[in-house]
Amino acid sequence: MLRHYLTMTLAVLKRRPFYTAISLFGISFTLLVLMVVTAMADHALAPMAPESRQDRMLGVLSARMFGPHSAWSSNAGYMLFDKHARGLPGVEALTIFSSFQTVTTYLGDQRITSTLKRTDDAFWQVFDFTFLEGGGYGRSDVDDARFVAVISRATRERLFGTAAALGKTFEADGQSFRVVGVVENVPDIRYVPYADIFVPHTTAKTDAYKREIMGGFQAVALARTRDDLPVIREEFNARLARLELPDKDYKTLVAPFETKYDAVARESPFADRSSPERQGSKLTIFLVILALLFITLPTVNLVNVNISRILERASEIGVRKAFGAPTRQLVAQFVVENVILTLLGGAIGLILSGLVLRALNRSSFIAHAAFTINARVFAYGVLMAIAFGIVSGVYPAWRMARLHPVEALKGGPSR
């Protein structure tokens, strides 16, 4: 039966190439945009190195203080985590690190700009970087404020060319560091583990950061199991609720441990930033509504094209109904034909998406990005194409399949 539907679909598509071209363009362009956006979101948020254990990770990536007449939004301070986030139940490892800063290195007359992140030794336990040379610095390196560094592959190439970097020294931000490790590049769209240079936080030029509640630091906790995630959230929120803020102008501090997706959602305009509750569901609803609005217009256009195409087959429908073809069978045939059409458009959209993503990778628009159509993105694309085909095909098929045989033999419903 499916083979028969496929044969009929190809014959119908050849019969009116103009309608076919319009349909394929609308389908492929819509899926192109959706798949490119999905691929970029997947590359930013999906579990992959060095965040491959995201299902057990919670982070405090921003903090906010609220008072009767003012609000303060920034990263948290080192002291907040050092005093109140250590020893949380269910935590396998906790890392505290700075947001990245821009630093300069001079090689002769050449000025090289890099991003630098100051971390503790647990950073290399929580995140699973791919080391090309050496390894991460340890507890003694941090405690003794040794000027050691882990650099990215791209930084090695800029500073040392094709030579090995292990043991070599370089200057950044007016300080001299010795390379103890080289890691694979991380795209800057993964802003939590991203940097060109990683050094111990104790090498900072001043230790004032150790006394700050609000500042330039973030923290990520790796839970022992997924069941420990709610316990970590609740305990840290309870500790913050008991915290006495040093600035009397502020009464409440909100800096919850949350998933990366929830952290992104908290930055959205419709999020309740004063609440420690998770905000991811609101972002999901917003994205679903946005996607539905985006596909509404091409879906309506495709419905109209399908009605026009099916009207031309009114006589065929009339003959088949006269010989007893049930409505359900006719609807199924037209829906299957439309799904096949959308899958063809989806295949075109898939190819175009691959070309667009390759162009984005080569453009260096996002540093070290490697956008691909992996299994997840491919599955999303196929599901979107099938859904697109069913939604845009059901109404035209149902409308024509319910025609009275006499009306159908006359060429369709009277207008």
Rounded CA gap, 265 and 310, in Å? Answer: 44
Cα dihedral sign for 83, 84, 85, 88?
positive
Q: Any idea which residue has 């990245």 for tokens?
A: 100
Q: What pLDDT is attached to residue 366?
A: 83
Q: Any idea which residue has 């985590």 for tokens?
A: 81
Q: Any idea which residue has 């303060």 for tokens?
A: 72
Rounded CA gap, 291 and 88, in Å? Answer: 39
**Secondary structure (3-state) at 130:** coil
User: Strand locations in 227-316, DSSP E?
Assistant: 252-254
In tens digits, what is the pLDDT along the chain, a chain of 415 residues? 556 656 666 666 666 677 677 778 888 888 898 889 889 988 888 899 999 999 999 999 999 999 888 899 999 999 999 999 999 999 999 999 999 899 999 888 889 999 999 999 999 999 999 999 999 999 999 999 999 999 999 999 999 998 999 999 999 989 999 999 999 999 989 999 999 999 999 999 999 999 999 999 999 999 999 999 999 999 999 999 999 888 888 989 999 999 999 998 888 877 888 788 888 888 888 888 888 888 777 777 777 777 776 666 666 666 766 666 676 777 777 777 778 888 888 899 999 999 999 999 888 778 888 888 888 888 888 888 788 777 777 777 777 666 666 555 555 555 4
Rounded CA gap, 96 and 220, in Å? Answer: 7
Residue 107 pairs in a beta bridge with 110
Q: What pLDDT is attached to residue 50?
A: 96
Q: What pLDDT is attached to residue 2?
A: 58
- The domain locations on the chain are 2-47+282-409, 63-254
Tokens of 147: 């000027």
Tokens of 259: 């998933």
Q: What pLDDT is attached to residue 229?
A: 96
- Contact indicator for 381, 373 with CB cutoff of 8 Å: yes
Rounded CA gap, 234 and 99, in Å? Answer: 25
> CB-hemisphere CA count at 13 Å for 267?
11
DSSP state letter for 344? H
- Contact indicator for 250, 67 with CB cutoff of 8 Å: yes
Rounded CA gap, 157 and 165, in Å? Answer: 9
**Strand 148-152 relative to strand 214-215: parallel, antiparallel, unpaired?**
unpaired
- Contact indicator for 282, 270 with CB cutoff of 8 Å: yes
Among 98, 64, 81, 39, residue whose Cα is nearest residue 279: 64
Cβ contacts of 257 within 8 Å, gap of 6 or more:
58, 59, 60, 219, 221, 232, 233, 236
